[in-house]
Amino acid sequence: MPFVWPEPLVSSGISRYETALPFEVVARTALSMFGVVSAIDASAVNWMEGYLADNTETKLRLVISIHPTCRTSESDLQDLLRLVERHGDRAAFKVFPEASLLDRSSNLLCLCGADGDAAMSVGPTENMGFAPASPSQANLVSVVTAATFEACRNWFNYLWSVAGPLRPDVASSMPNLVLPEGDEEADRLWQDYRRRCLAHESATEPLVRAVVDPESGEVVLVNQNNEVVPSPTDAIGNRPANPPCPWSTDLTR
């Protein structure tokens, strides 16, 4: 740590993570975990079950954010209730239903190690990290200072106070909503626009593409003649302080 996922090695298809959860190694070493996760399904629930079953000292406190038409189902919430029945006060959950389809919560997990060290995973990817992540989504996993951890703890305690308890009637009454079928013409217009936006060869600026080093994961920008060109961060004076170090223990080619 720290690291950002999905890494360019993964987004570019050169490598993939050895585990379904990109920060699995960090999460498994945590003795306690709290935070908010959005739109979970059975993948996340099963991971929580394994996390609690593998170590009788682990503890979990999560606010589950749900929104209309999200992947979370009645059965997922019922499984969380059964998880609480099996593990007692080591696990507790609350539910925060967002006001509308457009609202999205943060995804933030605070991970506390047995030695007192604290780490944080924060980013936009839903389902605790099991959802497919777009290259535009940056999820950060990092050791945090005591002050940062305290700020997160304070924020979470407030969210916990305003979220609702996960009761059997709450789980069983969750509406099974789906997005309505969209207009084909609207979809065509958007896909055409998206292709136009990403058509680098038709842009007025010189063509630049990214080359990802398969060993280090370092990203280098080159022009159409394969000549290295300054990156946007180079242009504003932000160069790497240290040579890039591959996070190879959790990547597979």
Asked if residue 214 and residue 157 are part of one domain, the reply reads no
Asked if residue 135 and residue 38 are part of one domain, the reply reads yes
Q: Report if residue 177 sits inside a domain.
A: no
Q: Which residues contact 151 (CB under 8 A, 6 or more apart)?
A: none
What is the number of domains present in the chain? 2
One-letter identity of residue 234: D
Domain boundary among 172, 204, 237: 172
Query: Where would I find the H helices in 88-183?
Result: 146-162, 168-172
Give me 147's structure tokens: 């002050």
Asked if residue 156 and residue 212 are part of one domain, the reply reads no
Q: Report if residue 182 sits inside a domain.
A: no
Pairing of strands 91-97, 16-17: unpaired
Q: Report if residue 184 sits inside a domain.
A: no
pLDDT at 249: 42
pLDDT in tens, the chain (253 residues): 899 999 999 999 999 999 999 999 999 999 999 999 999 999 999 999 999 999 999 999 999 999 999 999 999 999 999 999 999 999 999 999 999 988 889 999 999 998 888 999 999 999 999 999 999 999 999 999 999 999 999 999 999 999 999 999 999 999 888 878 888 898 888 899 888 887 776 556 778 888 888 888 888 888 888 888 888 878 767 776 654 444 334 566 5
pLDDT at 248: 37
One-letter identity of residue 209: R
Asked if residue 84 and residue 168 are part of one domain, the reply reads yes
Asked if residue 147 and residue 42 are part of one domain, the reply reads yes
pLDDT at 204: 66
pLDDT at 202: 59
Give me the sign of the Cα torsion angle 73, 79, 83, 84. positive
Give me 231's structure tokens: 């990156």
Pairing of strands 59-66, 91-97: parallel
**Is the preceding omega at residue 135 within 30 degrees of 0, hence cis?**
no
Cβ of 186: how many Cβ atoms within 10 Å? 9
pLDDT at 17: 92
Q: What are phi and psi of 121, to 5 degrees?
A: -115, 120
Q: Which residues contact 71 (CB under 8 A, 6 or more apart)?
A: 39, 40, 41, 126, 127, 131
| CA dist 6 → 25, 192, 224 (Å) | 15, 26, 26
Asked if residue 237 and residue 145 are part of one domain, the reply reads no
Q: Report if residue 183 sits inside a domain.
A: no
pLDDT at 154: 95
- Between CA 222 and CA 109 the distance in angstroms is 37
Half-sphere exposure of 59 (CA within 13 A, CB side): 9
Query: Where in the sequence is the domain holding 64, given as residue range(s)?
Result: 3-172
Q: Report if residue 187 sits inside a domain.
A: no
Asked if residue 101 and residue 64 are part of one domain, the reply reads yes
165 near 92, Cβ under 8 Å? no
Q: Which residues contact 44 (CB under 8 A, 6 or more apart)?
A: 37, 127, 128, 130
- Tell how far CA 243 is from the center of its chain: 26
| CA dist 226 → 3, 206, 217, 223, 244 (Å) | 28, 12, 18, 5, 21
pTM of the model: 0.84
- Tell how far CA 40 is from the center of its chain: 11
pLDDT at 233: 79
pLDDT at 203: 55
Which CATH number is 164's domain given?
3.30.870.10
Asked if residue 228 and residue 104 are part of one domain, the reply reads no
